[in-house]
Amino acid sequence: MNWLTKAINFGEKIKKILKKRPSKEDIENSDWTSCCKGPILKKDLEDNLWVCNSCGKHHRINCRQRFNIFFGKNNYEILETPQPTDDPLNWVDTKSYKDRLKVARKKTNQHCAVMIAKGTVDGIEITAGAINFDFIGGSCGAAESEAIIYGAQHAIDNQTPYVFFPCGGGQRMFESPIALAGMTRTTLAINELKKSRLPYVVCFVDPCAGGITASFAMLGDIHFAERGCLIAFAGKRVIQATVKEELSPEFQTAEFVEKHGFVDRVIDRKNLKKEIVTILEILLKKNSEIHSELPNETSKNIEPTTKVAS
């Protein structure tokens, strides 16, 4: 029976080779990624703003890549945001929260999921914020909430509009009520921004859900969304199980949400800068043909927007 054992062992070896799949690290360190038509060079994808040429899928990008597209490469300054104490609850589940933070920081080269930057686009000074989904699913804990609030305060202090690109799964449950308090705190910060009559423009990026959608992300004066992105509060399966109805495949996509009035316009990434700047020019009565008849455009960015609002 020796030949049989050998044959079985040989078969097992072949199985192992065939089953070997690249790990997440292998994929991240590779020059290649994949989309609808199989492997695609990351460089080619990057040249097209991380949008697939064949199917138009908008691949996820990190905060710096987002700012590079919006402000122009290295045409912005990253602002240092407050850093509250890590892991106030000493949370441990299958891993400690401190370890998760360490891994996420190393992986993303960010202190928290949110990054705030300032820069000038077409002569308009802008404070912008973005969330990196690779940092613990873009979830919001104390540090993230503080960063969002800091961005709003920076916009008020410098009288600039605030543009935000939210994504992420919601509040970070490793910080439990402290994370939940972030929903109220960020909402209040946006209210302060509105009291100062400064435009707040939101552009949803994939995927945006939970407490993020339920707080600062839904309070924009204008809501854009990148094509195909997911915008939700609870997940589709949970809703389906609750209402006991089959939901359409496009449920919770940007296009579906736009049709139902929660998003003003769905945009392609290549038009992101143009669309946002156009709306800011209108709100700020600056550079716009619409306001060309207005006398003496001042060099100041902000003018009261009461006339626009009324």
Stretch that binds Zn ion, among 26-34, 46-54, 155-163, 284-292 (CB under 5 A): 46-54
Asked if 57 is part of the footprint of Zn ion (rule: CB under 5 A), the reply reads yes
Work out how close the CB of 246 gets to Zn ion at its nearest, in angstroms, rounded to a whole number: 27
The closest alpha carbon to 78, from 29, 140, 132, 135, belongs to 132
The closest alpha carbon to 217, from 151, 159, 154, belongs to 151
Stretch that binds Zn ion, among 27-35, 174-182, 259-267, 289-297 (CB under 5 A): 27-35
**168, 169, 188, 258, 268 from 138: Cα distances, Å:** 4, 6, 21, 23, 22
When computed from its CA atoms, the radius of gyration of the chain, rounded to whole angstroms, is 23
Which of 2, 5, 23, 54 binds Zn ion (CB under 5 A)? It is 54
Work out how close the CB of 188 gets to Zn ion at its nearest, in angstroms, rounded to a whole number: 41
Q: What sign results for the dihedral spanned by CA atoms 167, 170, 171, 173?
A: negative
161/124 Cα distance (integer angstroms)? 9
Query: Residue 37 or residue 95: which is nearer to Zn ion going by CB?
Result: 37
Asked if 36 is part of the footprint of Zn ion (rule: CB under 5 A), the reply reads yes
Work out how close the CB of 59 gets to Zn ion at its nearest, in angstroms, rounded to a whole number: 9
Stretch that binds Zn ion, among 30-38, 180-188, 225-233, 262-270 (CB under 5 A): 30-38
Work out how close the CB of 54 gets to Zn ion at its nearest, in angstroms, rounded to a whole number: 5
Which of 14, 27, 55, 89 binds Zn ion (CB under 5 A)? It is 55
How, if at all, do strands 200-204 and 222-226 pair? parallel
Asked if 52 is part of the footprint of Zn ion (rule: CB under 5 A), the reply reads yes
Reduce the DSSP state of residue 75 to 3 states and report it: coil
172: left (phi over 0), alpha (psi -120 to 50) or beta: beta
Query: Residue 51 or residue 231: which is nearer to Zn ion going by CB?
Result: 51
Which of 32, 35, 68, 234 binds Zn ion (CB under 5 A)? It is 35
185/162 Cα distance (integer angstroms)? 16
Binding positions for Zn ion, rule: CB under 5 A: 35-36, 52, 54-55, 57
